[in-house]
Amino acid sequence: MSTKAKAKELAPDRVVAFASEREMPPLAVSLGTSLANKTGSWRYLRPVYEEKEPPCNHACPAGNDIRGFIALILKGKLAEARELLCETNPFPAITGRVCHHPCELECNRQKLDEPLSIRALERLAGDEGYNGKGLRPPRRRHKERIAIVGSGPAGLSCAYFLARKGYQVAIFEAERKPGGMLRWGIPEYRLPKAVLERELALLRDLGIEFKAGLRVGQDLRLEELQAGYDTIFLAVGATAGVELELPGGEAAGVLHGLEFLKRVNFGERVELGERVAVIGGGNTAMDAARVALRLGAKPVVVYRRTRAEMPAIPEEVEAALEEGVEFTFLAAPIEVLTANGQLKGARFIKMELGPPDETGRRRPMPIKGSEFKLELDNLILAVGERPDLSFLPEGVKLREGRVNDPVLVEALRAPIFAGGDAATGAGTVVEAIASGRRGAEAIDRHLRGLPEPEPEREPVLVPFERINLDYFEPRPRAQGRALAVPERVTNFEEIELGLSLEQGQLEAERCFSCGGCNQCDNCITYCPDVAISRHDDQYEVDYDYCKGCGICAQECPRWVISLVEEEK
Amino acid sequence: MATEVELKAGIPSGKKVITGNYAVSYGAALARAQVIAAYPITPQTQIVELLADFCAEGALRANFIKVESEHSAMAACIGAAAVGARAFTATSAQGLALMHEMLHWAAGARLPIVMANVNRAMGPPWSIWTDQNDSLSQRDTGWMQFYCESNQEALDTVIQAYKVAEKVLLPAMLVLDAFFLSHTSEPVEIPEQGLVDRYLPPYNPEFKLDITDPRAFGGITMPSEYFELRYKMQKAMEEALEVAKAADLEFKELFGRGYGLVEPYRLEDAELALVTSGTVTSTARLVIDELRAKGERVGLLKVRLFRPFPTALVREHLLKVPKIAVIDRNISFGHGGIFAQEIKSALYNAEPRRPLFGFVAGLGGRDITPELIEEIIAYALAHDRPEEEIIWMGVKR
């Protein structure tokens, strides 16, 4: 009998004693499988699948699952991507166009080449993931009715999340059409009205009632709302321009940035001269300058700090420069020059940057004797916005959340909540959306008598150093199609034309998926003990055999697997 | 069903002028190596380059595995051999040294891998030229070692090495001198594939990795068994002497060429036996002929098989001769030439005692010229016994 035949005869769990070397096989071979050798007993480190927070998700004020929706785009699932975004943000098609994308600023990929084009991907999901069908209205679960004052992004967001929770919601809007800043603060070339209308229609599908043309405090007293609704959410925005104390500022030809944008957005033919100065460095200033350009003016932006300190989205500044808007940095107006009540020009003074102020930016300081004059046809002031709270009792100030102001509480004798720019000061669209959602959650807790949630634990963020770069090749980020400068400066056509699905999927491929498993199977491939298996999208480690060598954690491209010390 | 790649005509037979490296490639291809894993290192690289070409052309149906080091090359060969594939690799010097751990593994797991090592001097200092210290440093790993003298012998030895290795379940290394053989072209008879197939049937081991019969190989073995497994390895080495002899005879019958485990040359009635290995043998043969023509009674013993060491054959041929002179192109630091040591130890328990001269020459590729060999012979003839244990030839002092 051969040694092998002999070996096979023996049961695997038998202890074999050989009487002589002649009985032995020529090499050390087990009688049974190697499963008897439970190498897991050697382990002092244990690999665990532990998803971690990607910097993009963490940076998103709305709390969007950015890594998640990009993974869905990669699989071509645009509708699912939109659906995922809509869990935290009612308007991916809008933020996909106008968001200041703090996610991209934190994207780990920029340390390899360039950040992901997250905003463009969001737009792709928002536009192409829309299947034309409305949202199914949620089952009405609650009898409470909520009135929302203001239909800007905060009010709309609050309404959306409340409606999804099953409340009856009505939105009161002072202007003829809802949308607030989305409608009249943002120019058509950045956010076409058709996109806004589509997104608003989806909210109507949810059963949200829109009451436009009713200005609370004027057409309708706040107290009247109280009668028909259980709770009120104030989201009236920051619609009043910050005034500059400028001698001659009342002259004809002096405009306020937001007011100017609003008139243009509402289709009014605003006559501008050729020589237009726009004062300010924020997004309103950029919009005003670019709109002025499209109306035939030759605008110059005058900003008291430098380009580095501008609060505007850098792409907007870049686009303004491309289109031929001129910039004068380190200067501020000190006097409007008039003749017969008509603007003729302005006097400016040059600035230098001093020590940082409370915003952390260096404070501009006038340089004595550096005054200069500009002859102007129009002066557009865009130095900031503040809430107009004239409809509230004197002295009331709003904070985000439940309003505890004794004057207001006494006046209304009803629970009242606030959010958006009116409560937080002028911010961005995505911040307003986030504020609206927090408002909806606070209202829901209040109406349902639920306690305040536990503060969330600080998540573990994935730093760039944890990405295994062996798995990623540098590749430039996707550039969507866009109108060239000559094609766009004479009209209000949308400039950005978005990414194709193919471009979007290529771009989604660039995503590191920091801290998020995308089933690349590297762990299975590399496990020297064949101790990892996959069941659908879940991996399982067989700790009877895992030696804790850590190769899976090392080879995980995106730090999903952590090694934790075994407890003795 | 996947269509098989249509193979070209295979390896054409016939006479061809090729380098020693290419001769090895032809040998491995004709032996139908199924897995080739190698890492490039001068002066070996051409061996696997040509094999890669054969694979790419479809002349050889083998898996060519690119690896990141020689250690991995040997590891890949071990894996391949463990499932019953015929595995081949080639290396030199530092590459062989890097394989050291895996060499033990291949031998201990009784895997009949065949490897070509092109003898290259070890660094530092860097050298790409020949000497035998790289292969001889692996003396005790359980690998058989064949030292080749010609390109034809290199080709034929690859085929013979598989035959022996697969019979006794031990890996085999064939060794050839850098440049003197690896990069020098000679006419080589490339045997017919059909004939090689007859000589070397497919490898089908009794024990192999098999997913339908899963087993662990090389796992921990207690003192109660380890010792016996080592005993069996030595017995396999001893058996290999007979198997190699028979394999060479069978080869000669089929192909008309044989080499023996050692090759005596004009040793009858000699007063002095020169002992050589590798390409020095060819030069020495020429010198012996010249000296014989002048009436000097000198002969030569070429040692082809170094592991297992052919002790009986060495005794048989050398004890007849009054004096022995060994040329070592290597040095075991702290002792001397390694072939000289081995021959001494082979003769120690036999009678009569013969004086043995140990010459060290040609390290790092320095030429061992006919004149130098004449000097060696003259020295040995002129002395009753060596004045020093190591006689350094050609050192500039």
Checking if the pLDDT of B1 tops 50, the result is: no
Contacts of A29 in chain B (CB under 8 A): 207, 215-217
Parse chain A into domains and list their residue ranges: 3-36, 42-51+517-565, 55-133+468-484+496-509, 145-239+387-448, 250-258+270-378
CATH pick for A145-239+387-448 out of 3.40.640.10, 3.40.50.450, 1.25.40.10, 3.50.50.60: 3.50.50.60
Mutate which of B210, B229, B234 to test chain A, going by most A C-beta atoms within 10 A?
B229
Test A24 with B218 for CB contact under 8 angstroms.
no
User: What's the CA dihedral at A128, A134, A140, A141 to 10 degrees?
Assistant: -10
Instruction: Tell me the CA distances in angstroms from A432 to A78, A171, B75, one per residue in order.
Output: 25, 16, 61
Neighbours of B257 (CB within 10 A): 14
Domains and CATH numbers, chain B: 14-255 (3.40.50.970), 262-392 (3.40.50.920)
Residue B91's nearest CA partner among B161, B21, B186, B31 is: B21
Cβ of residue B169 closer than 8 Å to a chain A Cβ: yes
- For residues A461 and A551, the answer to whether their CB atoms sit within 8 Å is no
**Same CATH topology for A55-133+468-484+496-509 and A145-239+387-448?**
no
Contacts of B216 in chain A (CB under 8 A): 29-30, 33-34, 37
How far A15 CA sits from the closest chain B CA (Å)? 12
Q: Report the residue of chain A nearest B206, measured CA to CA.
A: A4
Domain A55-133+468-484+496-509 class, CATH top level: mainly alpha
CATH pick for A42-51+517-565 out of 3.40.50.2300, 3.40.190.10, 3.30.70.20, 3.20.20.70: 3.30.70.20
- pLDDT tens for residues B187-212? 999 999 999 999 999 999 999 999 88
Residue B176's nearest CA partner among B259, B260, B58, B280 is: B280
What gap in Å lies between CA B397 and CA B388, rounded to an integer? 16
Q: Is the dihedral of CA B215, B218, B223, B228 positive or negative?
A: positive
- pLDDT tens for residues A185-199? 999 999 999 999 999
Test B216 with A24 for CB contact under 8 angstroms.
no
Bond from prior residue into A138 cis (ω within 30 degrees of 0): no
Tokens at B23, concatenated: 């001769």
* DSSP helix/strand/coil, B73: helix
Please give chain A's pLDDT, 568 residues, in tens: 455 555 555 555 566 778 899 999 999 988 888 787 889 999 999 999 999 999 999 999 999 999 999 999 999 999 999 999 999 999 999 999 999 999 999 999 999 999 999 999 999 999 999 877 766 677 778 999 999 999 999 999 999 999 999 999 999 999 999 999 999 999 999 999 999 999 999 999 899 999 999 998 888 888 888 888 999 999 999 988 888 888 988 899 999 999 999 999 999 999 999 999 999 999 999 999 999 999 999 999 999 999 999 999 999 999 999 999 999 999 999 999 999 999 999 999 999 999 998 888 889 999 999 999 999 999 999 998 888 888 888 878 888 888 887 777 777 777 899 999 999 887 899 999 999 999 999 999 999 999 988 988 899 999 999 999 999 999 999 998 999 999 999 999 999 999 999 999 999 999 999 999 999 999 999 999 999 999 998 999 999 999 999 999 999 999 999 999 998 7
Tokens at A399, concatenated: 């904070």
Residue A532's nearest CA partner among A40, A15, A191 is: A40
pLDDT at A396: 81
What gap in Å lies between CA A258 and CA A261, rounded to an integer? 5
How far B134 CA sits from the closest chain A CA (Å)? 27
Amino acid at the residue B84: G
Helix axes B70-82, B100-108, angle to 10 degrees: 10
Sequence-distant (6+) residues with CB within 8 A of B67 are B37, B38, B39, B73, B75, B76
Contacts of A30 in chain B (CB under 8 A): 215-217, 219
- For residues B390 and B379, the answer to whether their CB atoms sit within 8 Å is no
Instruction: Tell me the CA distances in angstroms from B380 to B325, B361, B387, one per residue in order.
Output: 7, 15, 10
Tokens at B377, concatenated: 């012979």
Task: Return the H-helix or E-strand segment holding A344.
Answer: strand A342-356
How far B285 CA sits from the closest chain A CA (Å)? 41
Question: Which ipTM value was assigned to this complex?
Answer: 0.85
Tokens at A260, concatenated: 């100017």
In the 3-class helix/strand/coil scheme, how is B90-156 assigned residue by residue?
EECHHHHHHCHHHHHHHHHCCCCCEEEEEECCCCCCCCCCCCCHHHHCCHHHCCEEEECCCHHHHHH
Per-residue DSSP letter, A309: G
Residue B193's nearest CA partner among B378, B346, B19, B59 is: B59
pLDDT at B260: 97
Q: Report the residue of chain B nearest A27, measured CA to CA.
A: B109
Q: Report the residue of chain B nearest A25, measured CA to CA.
A: B229
pLDDT-based confidence at B4, cuts 50/70/90?
A: very low
- For residues B55 and B36, the answer to whether their CB atoms sit within 8 Å is yes
Amino acid at the residue B172: A
Amino acid at the residue B208: K
Test A26 with B232 for CB contact under 8 angstroms.
yes
Cβ of residue B384 closer than 8 Å to a chain A Cβ: no
Buried b / exposed e over A210-235, threshold 16 CB at 10 Å, is: bbeeeebeeebebeebbeebbbbbbb
Contacts of A15 in chain B (CB under 8 A): none
Cβ of residue B110 closer than 8 Å to a chain A Cβ: yes
What gap in Å lies between CA B308 and CA B286, rounded to an integer? 28
Q: Scanning the structure block, which residue is given the tokens 């006419």?
A: B187
CATH pick for A250-258+270-378 out of 3.40.718.10, 3.90.1150.10, 3.40.980.10, 3.50.50.60: 3.50.50.60
Checking if the pLDDT of B357 tops 50, the result is: yes
User: What's the CA dihedral at A158, A164, A169, A173 to 10 degrees?
Assistant: 40
Mutate which of A23, A29, A37 to test chain B, going by most B C-beta atoms within 10 A?
A29
Instruction: Tell me the CA distances in angstroms from A381 to A161, A250, A258, A279, A307, one per residue in order.
Output: 36, 12, 9, 5, 18
